Amino acid sequence: MADIDYTQFTDKMKKTSEVLGTQFDSVRAGRANAAVLDQIRVDYYGTPTPINQIASIATPDPRSLAITPYDGSALKHIEKAIQESDLGINPQNDGKVIRLVFPQLTEERRKELIKLVKKYAEEAKIAIRNIRRDAMEFYKGQKKKSEITEDDLKDIEKQMQKFTDDCIKNLDALAEKKEKELLDI
């Protein structure tokens, strides 16, 4: 068998898992977590900028975040970006600091968040399967050029399917963990 290098495809699969983990961090679970602000971009002098680059974010207590902009003129822009996001929290602006108070999650909101978690997980699974498909097209092209043999192609198919199955199990485990976190009261 030829020495086959799978890393370009397995690295993409691992990166997809990491991205899913980041998306799950941005789904709030009733506790104050600065990661929920990672997806929000503020129009700062005409450039969409992450909040953590233009303000310091502190957690004064388990249920709230305090956002203090480095530039006072950005306060209104940050407030507007949070209001327009799908965070579901109304920011409180005292002129210097924006406070976000995270209420207890209602049963209805928990169910919505679980649906969102499942949607993110399904999108990641689709991405993993697309990576597998791209890998198989790549190796079939190599087979056509006689760079690998038919037996090599069969072995590659088995190996890529194994990587895919392992990644999908990992994604399912991440989703299950996040769902449990959301259901904890």
| 97 and 111, same domain (yes or no) | no
Instruction: Write down the pLDDT at residue 119.
Output: 92
Q: Is 165 left (phi over 0), alpha (psi -120 to 50) or beta?
A: alpha
Torsion sign, CA atoms 41, 117, 23, 26: positive
| 89 and 179, same domain (yes or no) | no
> Which candidate, 97, 31, 20, places its Cα nearest to that of 63?
31
Cβ contact 141:127 at 8 Å: no
Query: If you average pLDDT over residues 123-145, what whole number do you get?
Result: 92
- Name the one residue in this structure whose structure tokens are 């090599």: 152
Q: Which band of pLDDT confidence, cut at 50, 70 and 90, is reported for residue 123?
A: very high
| 115 and 148, same domain (yes or no) | yes
pLDDT at 2 > cutoff 60: no
Q: Which band of pLDDT confidence, cut at 50, 70 and 90, is reported for residue 122?
A: very high
pLDDT in tens, 29-61: 666 777 778 888 898 888 898 988 899 998 888
More confident call, 113 vs 128: 128
Cβ atoms within 10 Å of 61's Cβ, excluding its own? 10
| 96 and 151, same domain (yes or no) | no
Q: Sheet containing 92-93: which strands, arranged edge to edge? A: 55-61, 64-69, 98-101, 92-93
CA distance 35 to 150: 47
Residue 20 sits in a domain of what CATH number? Answer: 1.10.132.20
Is residue 1 situated within a structural domain?
no
Instruction: Write down the pLDDT at residue 1.
Output: 44
Query: If you average pLDDT over residues 66-81, what whole number do you get?
Result: 90
pLDDT at 136 > cutoff 80: yes
105, burial (CB in 10 Å: exposed 0-12, middle 13-18, buried 19+): buried
Is residue 2 situated within a structural domain?
no
Is residue 11 situated within a structural domain?
yes
What average pLDDT is seen over the chain?
A: 86
> Domains in the chain: how many in total?
2
CA distance 65 to 143: 56
Query: If you average pLDDT over residues 128-134, what whole number do you get?
Result: 94
| 86 and 40, same domain (yes or no) | yes
Residue 92 structural domain: 31-101
DSSP annotation of 117 reads H
pTM exceeds cut of 0.75: no
Query: If you average pLDDT over residues 172-183, what whole number do you get?
Result: 88
Instruction: Write down the pLDDT at residue 128.
Output: 94
| 49 and 66, same domain (yes or no) | yes
pLDDT at 90 > cutoff 70: yes
Mark which of 55, 80, 101 sits at the end of a domain.
Answer: 101
Secondary structure (3-state) at 41: strand
